[in-house]
Structure 1
Amino acid sequence: MRPQVWGAVAGAAGAVAATGVAVGVAARKRSQIATDRRRLAKELSDGDEAPGLFPPGEPSSVTADDGIRLSCEEIEPASGQATMTVVLVHGFALDRRTWHFQRRMLAELTEPAVRVVLYDQRSHGRSERAPRESCTIEQLARDLDAVIRALAPEGPLVLVGHSMGGMTLMALAEQRPELFAERVVGVALVSTSAGEMAGAGLPGALLSRDNPLLRGVGLIARLQPKLEKGVRRVAGDLIWSITRSYAYGDRGVSPWLVDLVDTMISTNAVDALIDFVDTVGSHNRLAALPAFATCEVLVAAGEADRVIPFEHAERIAAELPDATLVRFPGVGHLPMLEQPATMDEALLDLLGRCAARRRGGLRRLRRRA
């Protein structure tokens, strides 16, 4: 038997063993976790229940340069003509529902009035599954460029990226610095990193395709999808608890917010997500950050982030001394969901600075004329 096959078999065996452990732990803990979920739900007021997505966006799709279909939404401002377009870019294993609260806040703005564009990254959410070799941050940047060219071809831009979405913005700046010099007036980098992901945050062993557990899980997901779905079902409460622990800093966070993240992750195929592991682990774009110097920049992260530690935000801010750094004490990897009011306030401040910069630029143009 060839070494590659032995590796796959070993990986699958490791995954099965891990699956057995997970199921065993789930059997012991699922009742405790389920009780915890019910308790939390009961303690919350009726007004804290999960609202529907609002306002509804106009669905559209964009074809990437390699033919992959990207699922998109466009939201026009509630009143007035938009003065800029805000593009929201979600992170790894999630989808555009990440911006649940911000879509409403942005759509209701009147000063400045903004147009909102959201989309699902390739192999995520409702976008088309992409070949493994195309699941790179470089390609994600080209996808974002395609979305901008198709849905926001003119006017000022504000780009907001979370986690892998922030890495996508950095790669786009690396590929098209002229876009940031000419059109991008604002950038928000939320819970993201400019590099050295294997050195802090997610363990380096996890961010490697050589990890036998990852390879085994991916193999099982491709060859035995029913088994993978069965494990998800049996260990559902345990997975929910792990999701809460890594997504949020507050253990008392509303259960529907955990459900939302759990649903986003579960919507994506496990082996599709594994396709992105190498590119996230090797991401290093400190050299691309100076391209943001011509923009208003917001760097925001939770101090209790267990996925990408807060030091990564501090490193980005140190490279961009004019950026605004916003700390979320006690908050995890998803400040836009865990502390939406504070996140909205930070984005409003960014948009205000972008609008002022744009007005100043227009005044200078008029004086020259």
Structure 2
Amino acid sequence: MGSAAGVSAARALRRRVTSEDPHRDEDFELLDADRSSVVTTADGVPLAVREVGPENAPLTVVFAHGFCLRMGSFHFQRARLSDQWGAQVRMVFYDQRGHGQSGEAPPDTYTVEQLGQDLEAVLAVVAPRGPVVLVGHSMGGMTVLSHARQYPQRYPTRVVGAALIASAAEGVSRSPLGEILKNPALEAVRFAARYAPKTVHRSRGAARSVIGPILRAASYGDAEISPSVVAFSEKMMHDTPITTLVEFLHALEVHDEAAGLETLNKIPTLVACGDRDLLTPMEHSQEMARALAKSELVIVGGAGHLVQLERPDVIDDALVRLVERATPSKLVALTRRVRERVRSHG
């Protein structure tokens, strides 16, 4: 049933893709040219890291991407915000374990708790000093919550703001994804990944046929989507190793990082989502926003799960506001206004 529903939703998506393509000439590999480094986690997994902006910038913003994606899913944020923030902000992006250019790891380490520890490893190496704002999309938002729960002493002394985009504090079993997770094909692949890794490739097609259409259908809402953006996100999903896919699916189902909300309550937060998000329905975002005293809730009409790719302008503006709220010195806001004044007079 789940697979059939996914296929019909995917067909509907294909009809919505516009023939006009405003992003036909977009360079989606932009991040690959940025300053690169590798952070090795405590258990020896190499994480690929990219940076934009001066190393001595007054503020560092760290981005944690979502399930079956990689740091490139923040492409539009990287493109616009590096120009807008200039020398005042350093942006740090990294691929989560098992995703993108980061190393694969033992399947039993593919947990949301571990992702919170990986984020701490990245911060320790790349941003050991100075204020930090954390931005997480989907599973990346859960990573931020996991970090907040495990390292509450970092808030608000080091982490001064956080954004949870298309995310959830507790398991996604309440969403349509929960139904799909009960599919025996996925359990079979998960069993193989743990106990018979050499046989995983045999069941890979079955798992992809179950989850692929759902991820694609949930990615975008009703708006006309650029075919280039769709192709880019589908490539990220397709390139994700099958073990990563099935293990983290399970992790997302069982995770509970609601305790992290108590820590985030100390700092300004942004909670954002699309109102057509099937994977983390907007009720999750509304619940989190209610629990966060200093939150701004942004619900993007007509957008799906990949809201930061679908409506980057709305998310970018919200991140600018978050940084202005989170930076006590107002240094960033002041510099930005000066630069805009110069630009308007020039």
- Category of TM-score, reference length = shorter chain: 0.7 to 0.9
1:183-262 pair list within 5 angstroms: 183-198=158-173, 200-207=174-181, 211-218=183-190, 222-223=197-198, 242-250=214-222, 252-262=224-234
Residue 310 of structure 1 is matched in structure 2 by 282
1:1-369 pair list within 5 angstroms: 40=17, 43-45=19-21, 48-54=24-30, 56-77=33-54, 82-110=57-85, 113-198=88-173, 200-207=174-181, 211-218=183-190, 222-223=197-198, 242-250=214-222, 252-355=224-327, 357-359=328-330
Quote the Cα distance in structure 2 between the aligned partners of 1:288 and 1:63: 25
Structure 1: 5+ residue stretches without partners = 1-17, 361-369
Shift of 1:44: 1.0
DSSP-derived class of the 2:294 partner: coil
Q: 1:47 to 1:315 in 2, by over 3 A?
A: closer
Q: 1:46 to 1:93 in 2, by over 3 A?
A: closer
Q: 1:177 to 1:213 in 2, by over 3 A?
A: same
DSSP-derived class of the 2:329 partner: helix
Quote the Cα distance in structure 2 between the aligned partners of 1:46 and 1:105: 16
DSSP-derived class of the 2:141 partner: helix
Structure 2: 5+ residue stretches without partners = 332-346
Q: 1:262 to 1:111 in 2, by over 3 A?
A: closer
Quote the Cα distance in structure 1 between the aligned partners of 2:115 and 2:190: 21
Q: 1:137 to 1:261 in 2, by over 3 A?
A: same
Shift of 1:202: 3.7
Shift of 1:45: 4.5
Shift of 1:272: 2.2
Q: 1:332 to 1:164 in 2, by over 3 A?
A: same
Q: Deviations over 1:212-245 (max 9, x none)?
A: 2102344678445665677799x7xx98865442
**Bigger Rg, which one:** 1
Residue 363 of structure 1 is matched in structure 2 by none
Amino acid at match of 2:153: E
Shift of 1:197: 2.2
Quote the Cα distance in structure 2 between the aligned partners of 1:248 and 1:48: 18
Shift of 1:304: 0.5
Shift of 1:303: 0.6
DSSP-derived class of the 1:108 partner: helix
CA contact (8 A) 2:21 2:228 kept: no
Q: Deviations over 1:54-92 (max 9, x none)?
A: 363111100101111111111125xx9622000000011
Q: Deviations over 1:276-302 (max 9, x none)?
A: 233211212222212112211100011
Shift of 1:255: 1.2
